[in-house]
Amino acid sequence: MAGGEPPATAAEEGRRAALLREITEEGGFAFVASAEKAACGDLRAAEAAREMAWEQLHSGPWSEVGAAWRDAYALACLHVARLRRLGAAAADRRAALRALDMGLIMGGNLLRADLEAAIARIVADPGDGGDAEAVDEETRRWREGLERNRDVADALNILPAKSLSCKKVERRSCISLEEFICDYFLRGSPVIISGSIDHWPARTKWKDIQYLKKIAGDRTVPVEVGKNYVCSEWKQELITFSQFLERMWSAGCPSNLTYLAQHPLFEQIKELHEDIMVPDYCYAGGGELQSLNAWFGPHGTVTPLHHDPHHNILAQVLGRKYIRLYPASVSEDLYPHTETMLSNTSQVDLDSIDLKEFPQVENLDFLDCILEEGDLLYVPPKWWHYMYIVTSPVITKHVVATIPNVTMRCIFW
């Protein structure tokens, strides 16, 4: 096999052959012809097959895309990565990794193990360490950001009106699973649990930006650009994790904020999964973990007021985050969007409330808090929550050095 890869097993060959037969039955004759040429070493054919599968993924609503075409896209990504790896340049390594990450992000599950194995072979080869002086400066700025914090009094100047003036979310320290179930889970009551994730490797390792870049720097991730997902200028992009980290330091208006949000990062990059652990609280009452997502973002990033159908536990790994909570009982007074896609999101912009249009919001009681590093926050189903990253930007020589903010969310039951 080209590029030092082991030959495909009989089982792998069988899966791929069955997939090509299925694509043929769906009329994908051109894709199959290109995929067969790609398997014989034709890079142009591999790129053509990937483009054809990509078009199928975007031919209609995502929910209507057939599983076979998602698997076909993953297969084409495998071919492109293998043939790109024939090049010795670092650019070829990065192109191969990008192809495989795209296969993980957009492809189906049939060839997921093949994609992960191919990634493991590539990341085993050390990449270029980069310019030493630039690395030192980047490390200095990252550490400076982590060591600097904003006083609560300063935070009040940028947070929504009435923040930290109502009832605070109850805070407990290292409570047992039984206490959590009886006092909060069964009662549907939010709680902050402190001191239960201090042993996570992420709590120390992720304070080193060079560690993050070494583990994930060349990996492609989806990011959101803009103040939040209900703004008209909001968009999504696919960039490398290193590019994302660099954007965190960039000055600019809210429309250019870049946020890695609600992404299954730990499924995509296994090495990062080794740095965190699923809290025992996620198995309350015999429940099961539904998803495990990551949020990386700079100061000023907002998650608009919304609710989720599942139980949530937010783990604050780095930085600080302001969170406001409203119970499900006041849902109608929060003016949910009428469109189906946004029906779990409020029309109210808490950063600038239009009381003429949304008068019921003014006198609603809420719970709020500032989630500190090492805290867990339990958010029961249907509780509305708004989030604002309050870690402070440090302006030095017209360069904004933003304190990194990392949150992990476990959805269970």
Interval 47-94: pLDDT, tens: 999 999 999 999 999 889 999 999 999 999 999 999 998 765 677 899
Asked if 172 and 94 sit in the same domain, the reply is no
Domain membership flag for residue 105: yes
Tell me the pLDDT of the chain averaged across its residues: 88
Residue with tokens 């694509």: 23
Number of domains in the chain: 2
Q: CA-to-CA distance for 349 and 328, rounded, in angstroms?
A: 18
Same structural domain, 267 and 319: yes
- The reply to whether 4 falls in a domain is no
**pLDDT given at position 397:** 27
Identify the band that residue 406 occupies on the pLDDT scale cut at 50, 70 and 90.
confident
**pLDDT for residue 88:** 58
Residues 65 and 119 in one domain: yes
* Residues 6+ away with beta carbon under 8 Å from 296: 244, 248, 259, 260, 404, 405, 406
Does one domain contain both 286 and 362? Answer: yes
In a domain, 141, yes or no: no
- Say if residue 236 is in the same domain as residue 322: yes
> Please, what is the angle between helix 29-39 and helix 43-57, to 10°?
140
pLDDT tens digits, one per residue of 146-157: 776 556 677 778
1 has pLDDT over 80? no
Query: Residue 328 above 90 pLDDT?
Result: yes
Q: Is the domain of 73 the same as that of 158? A: no
| Closest by CA position to 45, among listed 27, 29, 32, 26 | 32
The verdict on residue 305 lying in a domain is: yes
- The answer on 183 and 91 residing in a single domain is no
To 10 degrees, what angle do helices 112-123 and 90-106 make?
150
In a domain, 413, yes or no: no
367-371 and 167-168 as β-strands: parallel, antiparallel, unpaired?
parallel
pLDDT tens column, 126-175: 655 556 767 778 888 777 777 765 566 777 788 998 999 889 999 999 99
Residue in the structure block whose two tokens are 């700079």: 298
Strand partners, 172: 193
Do 76 and 156 reside in the same domain of the chain? Answer: no
Same domain, 27 and 168: no
Q: What is the DSSP letter of 189?
A: -
pLDDT at 380 over 50: yes
Alpha carbons within 13 A on the beta-carbon side of 257: 25
DSSP state of 336: B
Helix axes 112-123, 67-84, angle to 10 degrees: 20
Name the one residue in this structure whose structure tokens are 């109502």: 166
**Are both 174 and 323 inside the same structural domain?**
yes
pLDDT band at 340 (very low <50, low <70, confident <90, very high): confident
Q: Tell me: the pLDDT tens digits for 300-314?
A: 888 999 999 999 999
Task: Say what the pLDDT of residue 400 is.
Answer: 31
191 is a domain residue = yes
Question: What is the tens place of the pLDDT at every residue in 34-43?
Answer: 999 999 999 9
pLDDT in tens, 250-274: 645 666 789 999 899 999 999 999 9
Domain that holds residue 16: 11-124
Task: Report yes or no on 66 lying in a domain.
Answer: yes
Statement to judge: residues 189 and 247 lie in one domain: yes
215-242 pLDDT, tens digit each: 999 999 999 998 788 887 889 999 999 9
CATH code of 285's domain: 2.60.120.650
Asked if 105 and 31 sit in the same domain, the reply is yes
